Amino acid sequence: MAVFLRLWAVAVATLALVLALFVGLAILNFKQIQTDLLSGRLAVLAEMTAEPFEAAARIGLPLASVRNSAALLERARQSDDAIAGVYVIDADGAVIRATGGAGLQMPARRAEDTRWNWSDGAHLFSAVQIVGATGHPLGAVVVEIDRRESTILVRAMAAELLTSALAIWAVMSALSGAGIWLWLRPQIAAFSSAEAQIEAFEQDVWSGRVTAGVASADGLGQALRAVFAGYRQALRDRGDEHG
């Protein structure tokens, strides 16, 4: 039985490891898909919002002079319930117009990037650069989206995967135990018998006690006793017997 339990434990642990890796990779993949979808939504919205500011920049007007800029930003914000803020910034990253009074921390970026995304953990940002009539960047439009909805979806998906994985693990553990018992039963029985005979032999050697039924049986136990008896006899013949 001990051999069966050890084999079963190895099978169950291996199954648990495989399922854990599968669930982990599936969650990471789903999280990346959600991030890509959000980034796509933000990029489209940022480009649409930037159009009137780009038109003004092409004729040499400063971004702050765009008429109804506050209304344009507010309309963009209301286009999606998850939008947390829409900003117009200048070339130095200072906010020129924004929905609400929230601040914006711009991360470092490469000078050649005209569109870029970043995240602060709770929110995802997408920016579109605005270029002036001279070809120099005047600023950018930035859209901020709350990631709570996406996080809830990822957690719900993770919970479903974990529940399914636990159910699969329980069923497969039972099936693996039954399979090991049915297919390896003769080998397990042979190993258990050999183990019992070795233990009986050790008891006979160290304590002089013989386990009934095993010590007198033919097989490994008898062979061990025969070899040990030959060893002791060789010692006697050499005169090196110590008891």
Residues 18 and 86 in one domain: yes
Give the model's confidence band at 16: pLDDT under 50 very low, under 70 low, under 90 confident, else very high.
Answer: very high
Flag whether pLDDT at 97 surpasses 50.
yes
Q: pTM of the prediction?
A: 0.63
pLDDT at 156: 94
Flag whether pLDDT at 167 surpasses 90.
yes
The verdict on residue 112 lying in a domain is yes
Residues 120 and 203 in one domain: no
Residues 129 and 190 in one domain: no
Sheet (strand 95-98) strand order: 95-98, 83-90, 137-146, 123-131, 115-119
Residues 149 and 188 in one domain: no
pLDDT at 185: 66
Residues 16 and 133 in one domain: yes
The verdict on residue 74 lying in a domain is yes
The verdict on residue 176 lying in a domain is no
Residue 26, domain CATH? 3.30.450.20
Whether residue 143 contacts residue 134, with contact meaning beta carbons closer than 8 Å, is answered with no
Flag whether pLDDT at 161 surpasses 90.
yes
Highest mean pLDDT among 88-97, 104-113, 184-193: 88-97
The verdict on residue 224 lying in a domain is yes
pLDDT at 67: 78
Residues 117 and 210 in one domain: no
Q: For 7-11, what is the mean pLDDT? A: 85
Share of the chain above pLDDT 90, in %: 17
Residues 133 and 202 in one domain: no
Residues 91 and 23 in one domain: yes
The verdict on residue 214 lying in a domain is yes
Residue 78: HSE in the Cβ half-sphere, 13 Å Cα cutoff: 6
pLDDT at 123: 85
pLDDT at 210: 44
Flag whether pLDDT at 211 surpasses 60.
no
Phi, psi of 130 (to 5 degrees): -110, 125
Residues 129 and 194 in one domain: no
pLDDT at 241: 46
Whether residue 121 contacts residue 40, with contact meaning beta carbons closer than 8 Å, is answered with no
The verdict on residue 231 lying in a domain is yes
Q: Pick the last residue of a domain from 138, 155, 172.
A: 155
The verdict on residue 41 lying in a domain is yes
The verdict on residue 101 lying in a domain is yes
Give the model's confidence band at 225: pLDDT under 50 very low, under 70 low, under 90 confident, else very high.
Answer: low
Residues 115 and 193 in one domain: no
What is the rounded CA–CA span in Å between residue 59 and residue 55?
Answer: 7
Number of structural domains (the chain) is 2
Residues 150 and 188 in one domain: no
Q: Residue 190: give the domain boundaries.
A: 184-243
Residues 46 and 134 in one domain: yes
Q: Pick the last residue of a domain from 155, 170, 195.
A: 155
Q: Pick the last residue of a domain from 155, 175, 198.
A: 155
pLDDT at 218: 53
8 to each of 4, 31, 52, 53, 54, how far by Cα in Å?
6, 34, 68, 68, 67
